[in-house]
Structure 1
Amino acid sequence: TLLAYLRQVPARQDRIALPDPAHPGRNLEIPLDPQIAPQANAARYFKRAAKAERGLKEIPPRLSAVEAEAHGLEVLLARVRALEDGGHDTARPDDPTIDGDLEAALTKVPPSVARTLGIAPALPTSAAAAASAARGRRDEIPARLQPRRLRTAEGWDVLIGRSNEGNDYLTHQLARPEDYWFHVHGAAGSHVVLRRGKGKNEPSKRTIEEVSAWAAFYSQARTAGTVPVIVTRKKHVRRPKKGPPGLALCTHEKTLMVRPAEPPRDALADLATE
């Protein structure tokens, strides 16, 4: 429209009303930049229109790609839910490719979305090493991450997470590879670690069952009669890269059926957690 009536446009106007080709009998008011010539204003509008037209051509394929990726994420989420047996925070790796697929999907999450979801971005190798060294220099565990500290009837030290963040810290930073790791199966609950120590001694069946009962108690299944509890070595437990706090994947696990039991008061202990 502006190009067709260019000769009728006075210089230094901030707007002009011209016939609207889409609606005969009506005028179309067009804003102008009074600092430039009418021809330059027309060129600017032409450039914007061309850009908008290109955008309209690019939107359908981009939208299709986004829809395909969204569908893939829905399928991946369904696989994770199936592994987690209804929403608890520990998945059995019956799906051998889920770990890699989940890590690959999380790398595509935009930083702004990752921050909203509470997913920490991956650190460069050097930064990760520096962060690890800094953690090693800390004399104390932050209060919000402090686990419950107990001792079994036979004298074995036990650590129990208090929150998703605390579970994550306990399992992936405090626990040693040969420690025993416990978690209720099929429900949300605390991560429980039985310190194995530096010797070759192994906890008795009685101790394993005692700690399993504690793991059942510190879970959403504490009121159930009999509860399945997973036990494995900590070296067989891992969290996918960028996975949310509390998510753990384990292998080589055994499942014990136990009755939830609250630790006795004399089980409380002042244990070193480093």
Structure 2
Amino acid sequence: MSLDGAFLHIVCNELQPLVGARVDKVYQPSREEIVVSLRTYRDGGKKIVLSANSVSARVNLTTATFENPQQPPMFCMLLRKHLSGGRLMAIRQDGLERIVSLDFECTNEIGDIVTNSLVAEIMGRHSNIILVRDGRVIDSVKRITDDISSVRRVLPGIRYEAPPRQDRLCLLDAEPQQVLDAIADSPERLCKKLSAVLEGVSPILTREMAWYSAKDVDAACNALSDSAKDRLRFILGRVKSAVSGGECCFTVVSEPGGRKKDFCFINIEQYSTSMVISHENSANELLDGFFASQDRTERTRQRAHDLLKLLMNSYERVSRKLELQKKELAECSEREVFRVRGDLINANIWRLEKGQSKAVLEDFTTGEPVEIQLDPRLTPAQNAQKYYTEYRKLDTAEKKLTELIAKGQQELVYIDSVFDAASRTDSESDLAEIRRELREQGYLKGGVRADEKVKKTSDPLHFRSSEGFEILVGRNNRQNDQLTLKTAKATDIWLHTQGIAGSHVIIRTEGRQPGEQTLFEAAQLAAFHSKGRSGSGVPVDYVAVKFVKKPAGAKPGMVIFTNNRTLYVTPDENLVNSLKANNAKA
């Protein structure tokens, strides 16, 4: 899924019309992501996103909207100081290396014209975004010290040195025959050898070359027939033409469930029918669509890190408390022994005297002798009362512990539901709503502020079934309560994953009876917006809203229901997206 140098070259070619645009704004939505907003005379505003995230590092045009932190990070403030108002003069890439430099003509503090370069190094977990002037580093998203790397440092004030370039053939310059000569007689797999010989090619591209040539992604170089070599020579020429500005086929490879797996700039045939193939109009559109939702989730996860940590700690604390309570409850099962001993002492009180340390008495049911320990300082009646007192203490403890364990288990379910909502949220406002809920429940310190108490709950997610029924999905527990207990009517249909934390889902029936397809689609939404999103055969209960009740004193989002039926579905992201699109068209 990594972005290779060849694809990056095509992206840079598509960005060339932006040369001459001026920097309007600079944002930093997350720690490893920069957005540069450019203003052009012909096309208006355009946004370039530069990401140094280990799994989504890239440079591309974007149409996505970003929710920025209230306080801009220091690196963002630095970029605004050095780039604001500057003119984009060049977009450079060295060969097919995964390093892109955006050169801006700017004015420094004393009014001189200077060139500031924003360098994006796309290298997996070593990715970085560096601001450079006159060959020296001003600052970077990730500062690399000697403790992190002894080979190459990236620190303010030191000279910028690009990562060492490997000695490989560049597709832009090499002829197909040179590549064939370089792999000739090698016993290695063709796809692996192509990755070692060629600069800027990804695994999916080399596997596709091997598949096109030998109809086998594991074919060895020295096992290629003459016809396979001819096909390899042809596909190499076609790839070179595409990278050099020729015709491309921007392809996205997805799993049957809808999860996007990989992408390339030529058509992909190696997966046959095991994967779903789709196409985009441009390299920038492909990258924007491929990484947009993933990045949004990652940004929110970074902001929610402290919240998720708090919930994990709370879950572990309650779990430990439950274990201790269950252990104490197991000890309470011995309480009958104390009652029987008290009864035996009372029944044989005439045989006992003060000062005895033990007594051997006959059991009522078996007749077997039972040895009972006595306190010699107490009378027989007092010893009997001592055993009765211990019995009553354990009996009371059992009742209290049973109640506490039930409450603890309910609290675990609640914490799990909040954790699920926090991990699925994709906006700062939703996170703020979850924080407000946790303050109300006492998990966060500080209490609820007056302005938070009157703040309106956000709207639920809206979808529309293929049969035309409106479907609503709660974003968090407070919204689940609002949706189920106030918004929904008695004849509407309520759905929720069985025994799995997730959102409440409502089908607005409006007096009609939804068909099986609508129920299936709503169940898909319930499974997708739950912890069972990545599972299969997820059980989803559904029932009329009139059978759903909220117990007195229950935490937000917690309800009980009867008369339910169950569907089993496997979440499909493509179906969820189509239901969202149906609502947009309505």
TM-score by length of 1: 0.50
| Alpha-carbon distance, 1:81 to partner | 8.3
**How do 1:71-90 and structure 2 match up within 5 A?**
71-77=401-407
**SS of alignment partner, residue 220 of structure 1:** coil
| Alpha-carbon distance, 1:178 to partner | 0.5
**How do 1:179-218 and structure 2 match up within 5 A?**
179-197=492-510, 199=511, 201-218=512-529
| Alpha-carbon distance, 1:88 to partner | 6.1
Where does the alignment leave 5 or more consecutive residues of structure 1 unmatched?
1-59, 90-113, 119-140
- String of CA shifts for 1:215-265, please: whole Å, max 9, x gaps: 100101000022100000000001101210000101000010111133224
Q: Is the 8 A contact 1:179 1:196 kept in 2?
A: yes
Match of 1:178 in 2: 491
Q: Distance in 1 between matches of 2:560 and 2:458?
A: 21
**How do 1:137-156 and structure 2 match up within 5 A?**
142=456, 144-156=457-469
| Alpha-carbon distance, 1:75 to partner | 4.3
**How do 1:229-248 and structure 2 match up within 5 A?**
229-248=540-559
Letter in 1 for 2:565: K
Q: Distance in 2 between matches of 1:179 and 1:162?
A: 19
2:446 matches 1:116: no
Which of the numbers 474, 478, 487 marks the counterpart of 1:165?
A: 478
**What RMSD over aligned residues (CA atoms) do the two structures have, in Å?**
3.6
| Alpha-carbon distance, 1:74 to partner | 2.4
Q: Distance in 2 between matches of 1:251 and 1:259?
A: 24
- String of CA shifts for 1:39-94, please: whole Å, max 9, x gaps: xxxxxxxxxxxxxxxxxxxxx9xxx6995664242243377589x7x9669xxxxx
Match of 1:47 in 2: none
| Alpha-carbon distance, 1:168 to partner | 1.0
Shift in CA distance, 225/183, structure 1 to aligned 2, threshold 3 Å: same
Where does the alignment leave 5 or more consecutive residues of structure 2 unmatched?
1-388, 419-439, 445-454
Shift in CA distance, 145/242, structure 1 to aligned 2, threshold 3 Å: farther
Letter in 1 for 2:403: L
Q: Distance in 2 between matches of 1:260 and 1:176?
A: 27
Letter in 1 for 2:491: E
Q: Distance in 2 between matches of 1:178 and 1:258?
A: 23
Q: Distance in 2 between matches of 1:221 and 1:76?
A: 24
Which structure exhibits the higher relative contact order, with contacts defined as CA atoms closer than 8 Å and separated by 6 or more residues?
1
**SS of alignment partner, residue 149 of structure 1:** strand
**SS of alignment partner, residue 242 of structure 1:** coil
Name which one, 1 or 2, has greater alpha-carbon Rg: 2
Q: Is the 8 A contact 1:147 1:160 kept in 2?
A: yes
Q: Distance in 2 between matches of 1:236 and 1:117?
A: 31
**Which protein has the bigger strand share?**
2
Q: Is the 8 A contact 1:88 1:186 kept in 2?
A: no
Q: Distance in 2 between matches of 1:232 and 1:253?
A: 5
Match of 1:41 in 2: none
Q: Distance in 2 between matches of 1:73 and 1:221?
A: 29
Q: Distance in 2 between matches of 1:196 and 1:145?
A: 22
Q: Is the 8 A contact 2:474 2:503 kept in 1?
A: yes
**SS of alignment partner, residue 495 of structure 2:** strand
- Identity, in percent, stands at 30
The total of aligned residue pairs comes to 160
Shift in CA distance, 236/74, structure 1 to aligned 2, threshold 3 Å: same
**SS of alignment partner, residue 442 of structure 2:** helix
Shift in CA distance, 117/177, structure 1 to aligned 2, threshold 3 Å: farther
Match of 2:203 in 1: none
Q: Distance in 2 between matches of 1:245 and 1:270?
A: 33
Q: Distance in 1 between matches of 2:583 and 2:507?
A: 14
Q: Distance in 2 between matches of 1:235 and 1:224?
A: 30
Match of 1:268 in 2: 583
| Alpha-carbon distance, 1:268 to partner | 3.2
| Alpha-carbon distance, 1:267 to partner | 2.9
2:568 matches 1:257: yes
| Alpha-carbon distance, 1:116 to partner | 3.1
Q: Distance in 2 between matches of 1:203 and 1:267?
A: 16
Q: Is the 8 A contact 1:87 1:186 kept in 2?
A: no
Q: Distance in 2 between matches of 1:162 and 1:79?
A: 23
Q: Distance in 2 between matches of 1:249 and 1:233?
A: 12
Q: Distance in 2 between matches of 1:71 and 1:270?
A: 55
Q: Distance in 2 between matches of 1:181 and 1:228?
A: 14
Letter in 1 for 2:519: I
2:536 matches 1:221: no
Letter in 1 for 2:499: G
Q: Distance in 2 between matches of 1:270 and 1:233?
A: 27
